[in-house]
């Protein structure tokens, strides 16, 4: 396959496309990345959703967590990614404490959308329903993010798997349903048992995007630095695809194909 020059992604991806993928049980692929060239490569390799994640604090900027990331840093990288990719749906994170109340969320989500994103992502459960409703009613698509929410790493006591007890699993399922009712268009499920990933995905009409949530979510997301083996201590759920490829586009294309054809994630990259 000529992944280097072929325009693998034929059409512009929208929130409606994501719903359709779910309805038609077609897995879609998300990659967190931060610059124009990687964004262009993702388009050529058929990546449907590009996430400009606040993980850039740990990958690009060298912080120990995502907490120091600022709105200005997010905007800088969202603008770069938007210049490089004209077909994928671009999702932009709101960083730590930039959506602590609805008014703050509104003005920061506006900045993210005006920088070139098509959807904002915010971390948290049912407490964010009013914010999700307000953004959604005003025309801003929202992706929620539950499970291991890295902005709460100090509250969670570390980067730990969530939802292992029945009580925690029940709360996560209720959070997901409440966020969907509030108007979320998608939801990231991070580091939860595969069985719970499936249960939440089955219960929702909006697509779930899993990272360490098993093979049964509607889509998968990985960070480009993990895909390319750049992360010194990668999380269990990530995989270095470069070791099985000839070059960087080959690694990305392998990730895309392995997700779409159900080879990734396997049990080694999931939690019980
Ligand atoms: O910031 C990020 O890249 C993320 C993904 C890991 C889901 O939130």
The HSE-up count of residue 228 (CA atoms within 13 Å, CB side) is 14
According to the model, what pLDDT value does residue 7 have? 64
Minimum CA distance residue for ligand 1 atom 2: 53
Do 85 and 42 form a contact (C-beta atoms < 8 A)? yes
Q: What is the H or E stretch that residue 140 is in?
A: none
Helices (H), the chain: 15-23, 36-44, 56-59, 71-84, 102-114, 129-137, 153-156, 166-182, 194-203, 224-227, 248-260
Pick left, alpha or beta for residue 174 (phi over 0 → left; psi -120 to 50 → alpha; otherwise beta).
alpha
Q: How many CA atoms lie within 13 A of 151 on its CB side?
A: 21
Asked whether the predicted pLDDT for residue 1 surpasses 70, the reply is no
Mean pLDDT of 148-174: 98
Burial class (CB in 10 A: 0-12, 13-18, 19+), 107: exposed
Separation of 188 CA from ligand 1 center, angstroms? 9
pLDDT of residue 150: 98
Residues with C-beta less than 6 Å from any ligand 1 atom: 32, 51, 53-55, 93, 145, 188, 190, 211, 221, 223
Tokens 């005003």 locate to 138
Report, as an integer, the average pLDDT of 105-116: 98
Structure tokens at 239: 């995989």
Averaged confidence pLDDT in the chain:
96
Segment 15-70, tens digit of pLDDT: 999 999 999 999 999 999 999 999 999 999 999 999 999 999 999 999 999 999 99
What backbone torsions phi and psi does residue 59 show, to the nearest 5 degrees?
-85, -60
Token pair listed for 99:
């959506």
| pLDDT one-digit tens code per residue, 171-185 | 999 999 999 999 999
Distances (CA, A) of 193 to 72, 163, 182, 249: 35, 7, 25, 30
Instruction: Measure 33 CA to ligand 1 centroid, in angstroms.
Output: 9
pLDDT for 232 equals 95
184-232 tens-digit pLDDT = 999 999 999 999 999 999 999 999 999 999 999 999 999 999 999 999 9
Nearest atom in ligand 1 to 30's CA: 7
Q: Read off the pTM.
A: 0.97
Please check the confidence at residue 2 and state whether its pLDDT lies above 80: no
**pLDDT for 3:** 54
123 belongs to the catalytic site: no
Contact 153, 159 (CB under 8 A): yes
**pLDDT for residue 91:** 98
Alpha-carbon distance of 194 to 32, in angstroms, equals 21
Residue 8: pLDDT band with limits 50, 70, 90: confident
Q: Cα-flanking dihedrals φ and ψ of residue 199, to 5°? A: -60, -45
Q: Phi-psi bin for 207: left (phi > 0), alpha (psi -120 to 50), beta?
A: beta
Q: What whole-number distance in Å separates Cα of residue 249 and Cα of residue 247?
A: 6
Work out the pLDDT band at 6, boundaries 50, 70, 90. low
> What is d(CA 38, CA 263) in angstroms, rounded to the nearest whole number?
23
CB-CB contact of 48 with 20 (8 Å): no
CA 205, CA 150: separation in Å to the nearest integer?
25
For residue 5, what pLDDT band results from cuts at 50, 70 and 90? Answer: low
């Amino acid at each position: 396959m000529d992944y280097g020059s072929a325009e693998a992604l034929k059409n512009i991806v929208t929130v409606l496309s994501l719903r359709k993928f779910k309805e038609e049980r077609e897995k879609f692929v998300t990659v967190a990345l931060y610059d124009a060239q990687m964004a262009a490569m993702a388009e050529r390799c058929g990546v449907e959703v590009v996430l400009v994640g606040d993980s850039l604090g740990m990958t690009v900027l060298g912080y120990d967590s995502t907490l120091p990331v600022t709105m200005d840093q997010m905007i800088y990288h969202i603008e770069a990614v938007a210049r490089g990719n004209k077909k994928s749906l671009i999702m932009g994170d709101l960083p730590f404490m930039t959506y602590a109340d609805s008014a703050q969320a509104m003005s920061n989500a506006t900045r993210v959308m005006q920088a070139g994103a098509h959807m904002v992502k915010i971390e948290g459960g049912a407490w964010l329903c009013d914010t999700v409703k307000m953004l959604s009613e005003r025309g801003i698509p929202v992706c929620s993010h539950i499970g291991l929410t890295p902005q709460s790493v100090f509250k969670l006591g570390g980067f730990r798997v969530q939802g292992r007890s029945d009580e925690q699993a029940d709360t996560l399922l209720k959070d997901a349903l409440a966020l969907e009712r509030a108007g979320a268009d998608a939801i990231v499920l991070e580091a939860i048992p595969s069985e719970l990933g499936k249960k939440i995905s089955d219960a929702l009409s909006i697509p779930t995007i899993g990272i360490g949530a098993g093979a049964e979510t509607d889509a998968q997301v990985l960070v480009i630095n993990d895909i390319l083996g750049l992360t010194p201590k990668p999380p269990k759920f990530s995989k270095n695809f470069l070791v099985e490829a000839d070059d960087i586009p080959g690694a990305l294309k392998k990730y895309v194909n392995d997700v779409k054809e159900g080879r990734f994630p396997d049990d080694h990259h999931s939690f019980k």
